Chain A
Amino acid sequence: MPLKQAITGAEAVAYAMKQINPDVVAAYPITPQTPVVEYFAKYVADGVVDTEMIPVESEHSAMSAVVGAAASGARAFTATASVGLALMHEVVFIAASLRLPIVMAVANRALSGPINIHCDHSDAMAERDSGWIQLWAENAQEAYDFTVMAYKIAEHKDVRLPVMVNFDGFIISHGVEVVETLDDELVKNFVGKQEKIYPLLDTSNPVTYGSIDMYDYYFEHKRQQIEAMKHVPRVFKEIAEEFAKISGRKYDLVDGYMLDDAEYVMVALGSTAGTIKHTINELRKEGKKVGLLKPWMFRPFSKEEYQRLLTGRKAVVVLDRSASFGAEAPLYQSVKSAIYEVASKPQMGSYVYGLGGRDITPHHIRQAFEDAFNGNLIVDEERYLGLRE
């Protein structure tokens, strides 16, 4: 029987990992990720998981340890946030390029400086070209569900890429919500056993990981990574289908809310989608045809979905919780370039909000929608919600 629990997003992720029972977890504490590993450490201490827990001296070491573990054929997990993820940066690329099916939970937090511990998406956006699959949760339920689904995606033979489960720091990681968790057995059977590919510990078939790759083969290996990413949307949809059968919750590359007849569509990642849905309900009462398109998956970025769903709309407003200094914000950039050649191009507007945990309210969302209603969007102008002039 599914169990309804009042838990934080951090506990939801840890609970999913308890059910998965990974071989190795290596992590270093950083706000707001710390409770994920605290909860998990308790499962280890209580003996309810068989996991080898490695307390490491930094995030660079944490990612290095899970890279080694995954190469040896173990199921490995880590979690981090913000500058911790930044410190991992070098090894984040190595995990993807060695094609290791690692899962990492990221409680999204602003990057320094000035130092700030609250939510924005600059940490994950700095890793968007690292070769990791990025899933983005709107709430604790989605964080739980994506964690359950993550290994199946990562370990799929056509994929073999690491998965980053993103959930907003504090808002999701520390906010208590009702999360419907699945039975342990159901999760265990769903995740299944890993099909090992070239495990280092198979000494009768010795392999070398991480040897130098020169100008004669490096390019070919990068091309393989590009190809693997192309398989991800299909594999994700298949696994989402399977997951729907055991959970009743249906995921896709993007989530649509009131999208079918929407003339004005907002695009946003993470927990803000909840606030947008609330605002859409209000605007709908006023007769406004508004909708939301929330990417569940940001990497790979499935252009076809955006082309199919956004062509013919009156306007598309993209909200970014991170800036790209001197260029367009990352989500806006991706959406705008995806719909470059759609038959009927919508007006487009870019809004940056919520940096360093600045609150975003229905008032701000309404303000952006109203700009769209009034035809007051300028495609090359970046605007800011909740910023003092």
Chain B
Amino acid sequence: MAELKGWKDIPIGGLVVEPGSAKKYQTGTWRVLRPVFQSENCINCMFCWLYCPDQSIVVELVDGKPKMKGFDYYSCKGCGLCANVCPKNIDPKTKQPAADEKKAIIMKPETDFVEE
């Protein structure tokens, strides 16, 4: 998280005077549910990358092809759109949600990750 500044150290009027500064704004703290990537089930269809409203899907090019690498939790708000559009999250036979171990993205409560 970018360190929060005092009232004497910020531009007046709520003005944003640095272009692209939203990148520094940690929206990851808003997250209630965390998307967890299970790479062994991923088919790299890029649906999650396409739908993510916050550009929080980390993608790398391998041999000229995009590979899903996981999430940028600094910006991810945990909206769950990625899990919703992921084709691996539906069982092709029953058309019902697949079992967790078959999914490529599962949503877990943030509280599961709280460090003691």
Contact = CB atoms under 8 A, between A and B. Distances in A.
Given A198-B17, A206-B19, A160 B12 contact: yes
Contact of A220 (B10, B15, B16, B17): B10
Contact of A99 (B6, B10, B12, B19): B12
A133 to B, nearest CB: 15
B14 A211 contact: yes
B61 interface: no
Contacts of B13: 97-100, 160, 198, 209, 221, 224
A224 B4 CA distance: 15
Interface in B1-22: 4-7, 10-17, 19
A195 interface: no
Contacts of A223: 7
B38 to A, nearest CB: 33
Nearest to A211: B16
A198 B11 contact: yes
B16 A224 contact: no
A208 B6 contact: no
B14 A217 contact: yes
Interface string A205-234: 111111101001110110110011000000
A211 B11 CA distance: 13
Contact of B4 (A98, A100, A216, A227): A216
Size bracket, chain B contacts: 10 to 19
Interface string A25-37: 0000000000000
Interface string B42-70: 00000000000000000000000000000
Interface residues of A, number: 24
Contact of A227 (B5, B7, B14): B7
Nearest to A216: B4
A224 B8 CA distance: 7
A321 to B, nearest CB: 32
Contacts of A100: 13
A207 B18 CA distance: 7
B60 to A, nearest CB: 31
Contacts of B16: 207-208, 211
Nearest to B1: A216
Contacts of B15: 98, 198, 207-209
B19 A220 contact: no
B11 A220 contact: no
Contacts of A227: 7
A217 B13 CA distance: 11
Contacts of A220: 5-7, 10
Interface in A72-98: 97-98
B103 to A, nearest CB: 33
Contacts of B19: 206
B17 A221 contact: no
Contacts of A97: 13-14
A151 B23 CA distance: 37
Nearest to B29: A216
A209 B17 CA distance: 9
Nearest to B10: A220
Contacts of B5: 220
Contacts of A209: 13, 15
A227 B8 CA distance: 10
Contacts of B6: 220
A19 to B, nearest CB: 28
Contacts of B10: 217, 220-221, 224
Given A206-B19, A220-B6, A213 B11 contact: no
Given A98-B14, A207-B16, A209-B15, A221 B4 contact: no
A224 B17 CA distance: 16
A209 B13 CA distance: 8
5 smallest A-B Cβ distances: which pairs? A99-B13, A208-B16, A220-B7, A223-B7, A98-B13
Given A98-B14, A221-B7, 4 more contacts: A98-B15, A160-B13, A221-B12, A227-B7
8 contacts: A97-B14, A99-B13, A207-B16, A211-B14, A220-B6, A221-B13, A223-B7, A224-B12
